[in-house]
Structure 1
Amino acid sequence: MLITSLAAISVMALVSPLLLEQRFEDLTHKEHLNQFVELIQRFKKQDPDWGSPQSSAALASQLAQIQAQSPIPSEQQGNRSLVLTMDLSHSEYVVTDPNGHIFVAAGEYQVGEQLPPAALKRATPLSQNSDVLGYALKTGTTNLNNHDSTYLVTLSQSMLIGAAAGLMITLLLSLTMGRQLIKQLRNLTRAAMEMSKGNLDQQVNIKGDDEVAILAREFNRMCQELQNTYAELTASNETIKAQAEAMQELSLRDELTGLHNRRYFNQQFRLMHHQAMRYGDPLTLALGDIDHFKLINDRYSHQIGDAVLRQLAQLMQEEVRESDVLARYGGEEFVLLMPQTSNDQAEALLNRIRTKVESWPWEKICKGLAVTISFGISDKLEKDMGHSMLVDADNKLYQAKDQGRNRVCI
């Protein structure tokens, strides 16, 4: 029984760190692949021509600029469409677009080259909903981040300490303590092996003041510390994820009015226009412009003009549906995208908004202030990614201005 216990502890001490390291490498490899998928998805929102050599080169250029500027000041992160959470300067991956154009290089491969077919077959597809976004070829050993490396070293050391202490105590006390000692050491060994599987919630109940009890208390303390460290790392990762999502949302919002900005509108417009063309659903677009806004700025100040923009955005937001997309298009212009809406329905909605703006007590902001708004509406669907609809709505807006302003033209 003594020999069996010694053999079990020795095997555990030798094998468990290797198994742990392999497990962490596998998890880190999956995390890297997920980060590459997220990186490509964000870039595709900027460049719909993903898959071409020019698009791949543009992404490589952006990554080089971001890498050179890291770390990014927190006040500037909200303006970044790409947030780099990994160090690519010593990457062990070659990453390509769906056609094999390299934008992250490693080993013998260079940015801008096309990965040979044989190497491309060995690469891992980067997929999202069965859509292949690119490929990643691992050229070396996966590098663990600082948190995981520290955690792995601490866990391995704890297991080695436990195993070494178990060996020493078994050799010194097994002859005098008999079956009870063997039972206690088995409990320690079982708990240590559970830790090697990633089950950190291990506590060994051994009472007394002898060496085995001291070892058990130290083992329990190390388990608790590892649990706390792991919980802190998990919370930190969740915080980083939440901050990245918040920065993404901020990059799609207009700072002054709180409405979505032109970038967000363009993304949604392409998507809704494509769906309307494909399924034959109605889609209506309206462009709105505050009447004589330059005179408001000149007569009452730009601060009053900003207050007018904020209040008008709030009035419009109170009337639109959750499915509509309302955005500040630029300056005093607003854009409203209305899916499943006919021209007549859109005209009725915009007349309600126009009347509400006209009747709102603007003297609350500044004495003598009066504000009206004009709208142009279009439901023109053509196979040109919405260009005709925007031009038509803009022409109708100019028509509303020419007819005296404070009106809706369709």
Structure 2
Amino acid sequence: MNTIKIKFIAALTLVSLLVGAIVLILTPYMVKHEIVENALEHRSNTFEKSIKHFIEEHGSWGSAGDAVAFANSADFRLVEEVSDINQIPIKVTVFDQNGHVLHSGSGFTIGSRVDIGSMEDPEEIYVRDEVVAYMAATGDVQLSPWEKAYLHTLEETLFFSVLMAIITILPFGIWHGSRLVYSLKHLTRAVNSMAEGKLQQQVPINSGDEVGVLAQAFNSMNQQLVSAYKELETSRNLIADQAEKLKELSIRDELTGLYNRRFFNEEGATLMASSVRYNQPLSIVLGDVDHFKKINDNYSHATGDAVLKQVSKILQQGVRASDLVARFGGEEMVLALPNTSLPEATEMIDRIRAAIADYPWSDVAEGLSVTMSFGVSADESVQSLERRLDLADTELYRAKREGRNRVCACEPA
């Protein structure tokens, strides 16, 4: 960033030197030119009067003889006396409209003829709105000692003026360059921070120039970007929440809130594979509400639904966070108990069975009594979820046959 500051100062210095050089070169030239122009204008006016008087006296003009006659006439001597023509700071040649030399400043002969087109920017002399002669400067400017001293003083004054201007401009350039670099550093730092993920950025506005406008535009853009990002994050979180809710709805049983059978089959297969891989026990339990059809018939389907909801709560309260409980279908529930041996599973499920039997069902419906039967399978030699479910189902039916409200377990072979 310091490169910009150096370039800015260098540009100011270069411009100052360039302007100073132009002034130092052009001013003396223009002064010399103005001296010559003023002298030529004065002599031109004098020649005009003299030529006019000559024409009125002699009645002719424009020939070589007229040129010689004019040069030897009292009118020309009047020119020399009045204008001091030989003191002009540059040699001049005067010739009539046909090119005949009236006064020679560079070796021409009076009365000889010159090519008007070859003379550089001759001064026209008019009489009654007609060009009767020309005056052209020839040779170098010959300045007087006073004029030379004046030009020398002028050149010195200009030189020291330019030097002082540069000395004055440099501190200003350093100060202004520092301000410019300071503002750009803030902008660069803010942009880099945004690139690193720190979106909330604001930079100071120290001026009303283009850099200040850029800083203001950056702040406005940053605010809009941050606002848009927050809205996007809000929308993204909302979508994620909605997706999570939809996912939860898709894997939950609507009535009981337990996982559904499809989810149990997927998660149960994962638990089964982990059990086989790491040689850890996994107990599978199937449970069924005893005489559920009679509950629906004798009370109502609403009472049956209330029974299923309460049974589901008791099941969830009786298991661990790592255990999986699902509604397998109708009044049938299924459980997967990882890292749980058959005796441990049987003990846990028997506590749950007792809790269901002891629940005050009369609060749900007068005279209502609810029990559940369970079948447990934990044979590690059976490495298929479907086969363990079949074994648990066999034990469940055995519990039903033996009087219900009991837990039957499949002993390993």
What TM-score bracket applies, with the shorter chain setting the length? 0.5 to 0.7
- Aligned counterparts, 1:183-194, within 5 A: 183-194=178-189
Structure 1 distance, partners of 2:211, 2:278, is 73
Structure 2 distance, partners of 1:387, 1:177, is 88
1:393 is displaced (CA, Å) by 0.8
CA RMSD of the aligned region, Å?
3.0
SS state of the match for residue 257, structure 1?
coil
Provide the secondary structure at the position in 2 that maps to 1:285. strand
Question: Matched residue of 1:398: which SS?
Answer: helix
Of all paired residues, the percent bearing the same amino acid is 45
Tell me the secondary structure at the aligned position of residue 251 of structure 1. helix
**Other-structure match for 1:255:** 254
Structure 1 equivalent of residue 242 of structure 2 = 243
Kept after mapping to 2: 8 A contact 1:381/1:389:
no
- Indicate yes or no: 2:330 matched with 1:331: yes
Deviations 1:159-197 (Å, cap 9, x if unpaired)? xxxxxxxxxxxxxxx999744544444344444444554
1:310–1:407 distance in 2 versus 1, CA, 3 Å: same
1:362 corresponds to 2:361: yes
Letter aligned with residue 329 of structure 1:
F
| Structure 1 position 304, deviation (Å) | 1.1
Q: For residues 286 and 385 of structure 1, do their structure 2 counterparts lie closer, same or farther at Cα, with a shift above 3 Å needed?
A: same
Taking structure 1 as reference, are residues 228 and 183 closer, same or farther at Cα in structure 2, changes over 3 Å only?
farther
Aligned AA for 1:231? Answer: K
Q: How many residue pairs align between the two structures?
A: 243
Measured after TM superposition, the shift of residue 254 of structure 1 is 1.6
Structure 2: how far apart are the matches of 1:204 and 1:321? 55
Match of 1:307 in 2: 306
Contact between 1:205 and 1:216, CA under 8 Å: does it hold in 2?
yes
| Residue 376 of structure 1, CA deviation | 0.9
Aligned residue identity for 1:260: Y
Matched AA of 1:304: T
CA distance in 2, matches of 1:392, 1:310: 26
* 1:184 and 1:212 in contact (8 A); partners too: no
Q: Quick check: 347-356 or 284-293, which moved more?
A: 347-356
Superposed displacement of residue 327, structure 1: 1.3
Q: d(CA) in 1 for partners of 2:345 and 2:170?
A: 91
> In 1, Cα distance between the equivalents of 2:263 and 2:236?
27
Change (3 A) 1:381 1:312: same
* SS across alignment from 1:375: strand
Query: What is the CA distance between 1:386 and its match in structure 2?
Result: 1.8
Moved more, 187-196 or 357-366: 187-196
Aligned to 2:294: 295
Aligned partners of 2:171 and 2:228: how far apart in 1? Answer: 38
1:109 equivalent in structure 2 = none
Distance of aligned partners of 1:302 and 1:341 in 2 relative to their CA distance in 1, 3 Å threshold: same
Give distance in 1, aligned partners of 2:170 and 2:229. 39
User: Which structure would you say has the larger Rg?
Assistant: 2
Structure 1: distance between partners of 2:247 and 2:211: 54
TM-superposed CA distance for 1:215, in Å, is 4.3
2:374–2:407: 8 Å Cα contact kept in structure 1? yes
Runs (5+) with no aligned partner, structure 2: 9-168
* Equivalent-residue separation in structure 2 for 1:330 and 1:175 (angstroms): 90
1:340 equivalenced with 2:335 (yes/no): no
2:391 equivalent in structure 1: 392
Mapped partners of 2:338, 2:332: distance in 1: 20
Over 3 Å counting, the alpha-carbon distance change for 1:3 and 1:340 in structure 2 is closer
Taking the aligned partners of 1:278 and 1:210, their CA distance within structure 2 comes to 72
Aligned 8 A contact 2:290 2:370 in 1:
yes
Instruction: Provide the residue aligned with 2:348 in structure 1.
Output: 349
TM-score normalised over the length of structure 1: 0.53
1:281 aligns with 2:276: no
CA distance in structure 1 between the partners assigned to 2:206 and 2:379 by the alignment: 81
Q: What do the CA deviations read for 1:90-131 (whole angstroms, capped 9, x no partner)?
A: xxxxxxxxxxxxxxxxxxxxxxxxxxxxxxxxxxxxxxxxxx
1:312-343 per-residue CA deviation (whole Å, 9 max, x = no partner) reads 11112121122221111111010111222222
Whether the aligned pair in 2 keeps the contact of 1:187 and 1:204 (CA below 8 Å) is no
Partner SS, residue 371 of structure 1: coil
Q: Is contact 1:378-1:389 (8 Å) kept? A: yes
1:208/1:340 CA distance change after superposition, 3 Å? closer
Deviation of the 1:373 alpha carbon: 0.7
Q: Name the SS of the counterpart of 1:259 in structure 2.
A: coil
CA contact (8 A) 1:372 1:406 kept: yes
TM-score, structure 2 length as denominator?
A: 0.53
Change (3 A) 1:181 1:249: farther
Q: Distance in 1 between matches of 2:181 and 2:348?
A: 76
